[in-house]
Structure 1
Amino acid sequence: MDNLDRQIIEQLRLNARAGYGDIGAVVGLSASAVKRRVDRLVETGVIRAFTIEVDPAVDGLVVEAYVELFCRGTVAPDELRRLLSTVPEVVDAGTVTGSADAVVHLRARDIPGLEDALERVRVAPNVDHTRSAIVLSRLIKRDPR
């Protein structure tokens, strides 16, 4: 990957719908040269997807929480993934350092929906307990770069 590829990726981050000609005008390449580079970036897995991000409130998912998950004994990450993938309200999760085994991000339509999702996580085998924090307001959301 060279500097031109990085510039193309930056333009796609700003607007994934930008045309190859528009991108080329910014980075100094023809539309066909940009297309060849984008195709190569997709083929090699540098670009994984072209997507949109929709406000979760559009789908009625207005309540969100971060949940620390504490397990009994040692639980493999694959087992946690299997357990959490059965709960549709889980939008993100990762194993972490510290006293918790994982941190889980949940989104639900309302508090009863959040409570139901939490209960499905809590009753799973090997889950000892959880600690939850409901999000009151989102302060910063950045695109990871």
Structure 2
Amino acid sequence: MDILDRRIIDQLRHNARAAYGDIGSVVGLSASAVKRRVDRLVASGVIRGFTVTVDPSVEGLLTEAYVEIFCRGTVAPEELRRLLESVADVVDAGTVSGSADAVVHMRSSNIGALEDSLEEIRKATNVDHTRTSIVMSRLIYRE
């Protein structure tokens, strides 16, 4: 990847639907040169896909929270993945360093639905307890 590839990716991050000609005018290439580079970036796996981001409030997901999960003993990441994949309100999760074993980002329709999803996580035999922080207002959001 060179500087032009990085600039093309920056343009696609901003608007994945941008025309190759529009991207080319920003980065200094023809539309066909941009297309060739994008095709190469896709084929090599640098660009994994193109997506649409929908405002969660449009889908009724108005309650957002970050949940720390504390497990009993040692739990394999794959086991946590299986548990969390089954909870529809989980939008992102990862294992972490520190006292918690994992941190989960959740979006729910309301507090009751969030509580139901948390209970689903808490009832897993390897989960000791959770600590939840509900988002009051979003300050910065970057994909």
CA deviation after TM superposition for structure 1 residue 28, in Å: 1.5
Equivalent in the alignment of 1:51: 51
Superposed CA deviations along residues 20-70 of structure 1, whole A, max 9, x for unmatched, are 111111111111111010000001111111111111000000001111100
Matches within 5 A, 1:29-40: 29-40=29-40
Identity over aligned residues, as a percent? 73
Aligned to 2:64: 64
Instruction: Verify: 1:42 aligned to 2:37, yes or no.
Output: no
- Partner-residue secondary structure (3-state), 2:67: strand
- CA deviation map 1:73-113 (0-9, x unaligned): 00000000001000010001110111110011111001110
Count of aligned pairs between the two proteins: 143
What residue is the counterpart of 1:133 in the other structure? 133
Query: Which segments of 5 or more consecutive residues in structure 1 lack a partner in the other structure?
Result: none
Q: Distance in 2 between matches of 1:113 and 1:36?
A: 46
Q: What is the root-mean-square deviation of aligned Cα atoms in Å?
A: 0.8
Structure 2 counterpart of 1:83, which letter?
A: L
The correspondence of residues 71-110 of structure 1 with structure 2, limited to 5 A, is 71-110=71-110
Deviations 1:104-123 (A, max 9, x none): 11110011100000000000
TM-score w.r.t. length of structure 1:
0.96
Question: What is aligned with 1:24?
Answer: 24
TM-score by length of 2: 0.97
5+ residue gaps, structure 2, are none
Segments of 4+ moved more than 4 angstroms:
none
